[in-house]
Amino acid sequence: MPRSMLVLCCFCVVRILLPTTVVAQTSVNPDISVIPRFLIHSDDGQKLNEGKREFSRPDFSFEELELALQAYLNPFAKADVVLTLPGPDLENSKLGIEEVYATVLRGLPLDMNLRIGKYRAEFGKLNMTHPHAWPFVTAPLMQKRFLGESLNDLGISASVLLPTEDVYTKLTVDLLRGTAIGGATGMVDTTGAKPYYANTARLSSFFTLSDYSDLEIGLSGYTGIHDPYHRDRFWYGNLDFKYKIRPSAYTSLVIQGEYLLNTRTVHLEDEKSISSSGFYLYADYQFFKTYSIGARVDWSESPYSADDKASGFALFAGYYPVEETLGLRAQYARTTTELPGFTQSVNSIDLQILFSLGPHKAHPF
């Protein structure tokens, strides 16, 4: 066979094999998903100062639109971009960046995963989940009081799997810029100086209990400078768990909870150490594949005072025809705020409507 013919045959073979072995893991066009959320809300707390308790006229509002773009950059790394358009002022709101990061999934020593960019840090369990994936409508009191909307910051995250045989155990460590501390009910920094770095870490283990049930337990820590004037530091410790049993494709039960302990040094008249805490616990039962009902209990102190307390419970139900591309959620909640010499309870009713355009992603356990 002439040499030129042999070279041509080799080229054709390589050209045929390459698309299935290398290029198949690289997407030219990213997966695009659009998830808007709408809310109808009514509560009986607007006229309590006048001595009246009556539910307000239901208010139909726009909560948020989430635009997610996801794709593999190459066989070793993928990228995620999440843009959000916040409500309720739909006409004047601006599209912003919630998350933008790249993840190296393979190729590093010790099979390490590396994430770089702006993202929801792995602190606790609920913080990593976007609100459209919650089974309830409103965030737990502990989440709102200690983390704000979410612990979302610029940073670098490294995670490794530990050699624990049949138990899936992962350790994640983050170095964060520290700009999210102000949103987590910290002090607003007006010094003009660069923010101090913050750190988070989470150790989680996943246990297969049976063919139908699993349990995940996590231990997290978060520390940073909450007062840039005195360089006062806070420490969060968090214990979380999630139990899930799915006896059939049509029914499942999820029980999840978290407990957060906060300690910090503050300067009022003099230096003082403060400790406070909070927790939530919920159960969500799915039946007939498209329906779910559940309940949640909450209790939380304030990051700056153990005397500022809030407690509550919520009953919620959901309807998800054809997986979770469309969701209708209803929730009744009662929240009680307690301060020295003051106690007030508010009842609320919410109906949330959301849908998803684009590829549906299965939510992680």
pLDDT of res. 264: 92
Please give the structure tokens belonging to residue 35: 């998830």
Residue 71 is assigned to a structural domain of this protein: no
Distance from C-alpha of 239 to C-alpha of 258, rounded to nearest angstrom: 6
pLDDT at residue 20 in the model: 42
Please count the structural domains in the chain. Answer: 1
Q: Is residue 82 part of a domain?
A: no
How many whole angstroms separate alpha carbon 122 and alpha carbon 157? 9
Q: What is the per-residue pLDDT across 88-125, written as a single tens digit (0 to 9) for each?
A: 888 888 899 999 999 999 999 999 999 999 999 999 99
CATH number at residue 178: 2.40.160.10
φ/ψ of residue 11, rounded to 5: -65, -40
Q: Dig out the tokens for 34 from the structure.
A: 């659009």
Instruction: Give dist(CA 73, CA 75) in Å, integer.
Output: 7
CB 337 within 8 A of CB 343: yes
**pLDDT the model gives residue 186:** 59
Q: Which amino acid type is present at position 131?
A: P
Q: What is the pTM of this model?
A: 0.87
- pLDDT reported for residue 196: 86
Q: Which residues contact 244 (CB under 8 A, 6 or more apart)?
A: 213, 214, 215, 252, 253, 254, 255, 365
Tell me what pLDDT residue 58 has. 95
Residue 174, both tokens? 């983050």
What is the distance between the alpha carbons of residues 272 and 232, in angstroms, rounded to a whole number? 10
Low-confidence ranges of the chain (pLDDT < 70): 1-28, 183-192, 323-324, 360-365
Does 33 fall in a domain?
no
d(CA 350, CA 332): 7
Comparing C-alpha atoms, which of 275, 199, 281, 181 is closest to residue 240?
281
Q: Is residue 26 part of a domain?
A: no
What single-letter amino acid sits at 99?
Answer: E
Domain of residue 351, residue span: 101-355
Give the DSSP H/E element, type plus range, for residue 359: none
Query: Is there a domain that residue 81 lies in?
Result: no
Angle of CA points 203, 205, 210, to nearest 5°: 170
Q: Is residue 304 part of a domain?
A: yes
- What phi, psi does 347 have (nearest 5°)? -100, 145
The answer to whether residue 195 is domain-embedded is yes
Of residues 194, 202, 162, 163, the one with CA closest to residue 177:
194
The DSSP symbol for 269 reads S
Phi, then psi, of 223 in degrees rounded to 5: -145, 150
**E runs forming strands in the chain:** 31-43, 59-74, 77-86, 96-104, 113-120, 152-162, 168-176, 198-208, 213-227, 232-248, 251-267, 271-287, 291-302, 305-319, 326-339, 342-355
Q: Distance between CA atoms of 185 and 182, rounded to whole angstroms?
A: 6
Encoded tokens for 189: 């920094």
Q: Provide the pLDDT for residue 14.
A: 40
CB 155 within 8 A of CB 175: yes
Cα–Cα nearest to 99, from 146, 157, 145, 25: 157
Residue 15 lies in a domain: no
CB-CB neighbours of 239 under 10 Å? 15
The pLDDT, as a whole number, for residue 360 is 59
